[in-house]
Chain A
């Protein structure tokens, strides 16, 4: 989801700074929620076996670790990718 704040007026005089700020915050929240959907999708497959009447602590721990390691993986891959790009650019 993306919002084009330029279509809501505002501009140099900053008269709709309030609306602009509101849209920026809401946009961030929407991004966050979309990210949570994506993580839940991935980690549900890894962590949840048969749904029972409660989310047990083992599953809960697995979900927490899954999210943390997914983010770690993203950072690690991004760093390495960046290094490869830099190396190629240096050649």
Chain B
């Protein structure tokens, strides 16, 4: 069952290599999370702020986008806190 799971070089990972992998994984996850947030946020805020796309992004639209971005991140944090608390509650029930 473990015949495919040996490291490519055949050697053991030393602690520096292991640390490197961990850092890479953390960075990649953080990057993916930021991309996901930016993509969803842009989608939502474009819908809210740019109703009739004109020849430029006018100043009221830009202001709206800035507000919207800040509020979206507030909302994300509220949702994160709520979900986390709910998970804790469900966990304690078991």
Contacts and interface: CB of A to CB of B under 8 A. Distances in A.
B78 A55 contact: yes
Given A8-B7, A67-B86, A18 B18 contact: yes
Given A51-B64, A53-B67, A40 B72 contact: yes
Interface of A: 1, 3, 6-12, 15-16, 18-19, 22-23, 26, 29-30, 32-37, 39-41, 43-45, 47-48, 50-53, 55, 59-60, 63-64, 67-68, 71
4 nearest A-B residue pairs (beta carbon): A11-B2, A51-B68, A9-B7, A55-B74
A35 B84 CA distance: 11
Secondary structure at the B interface, as helix, strand, loop or mixed, is helix
- Interface residues on chain B, size class: 35 or more
A51 B71 contact: yes
A71 B48 contact: no
A6 B84 CA distance: 29
B85 to A, nearest CB: 9
B22 A22 contact: yes
Contact of B29 (A16, A30, A39): A30
21 contacts: A6-B4, A8-B5, A9-B6, A9-B7, A19-B21, A22-B22, A26-B26, A30-B33, A32-B87, A36-B83, A40-B40, A43-B75, A44-B75, A47-B75, A50-B48, A55-B78, A60-B78, A63-B82, A64-B82, A68-B82, A68-B86
Contacts of A7: 5
A63 B29 contact: no
Contacts of A16: 13, 18
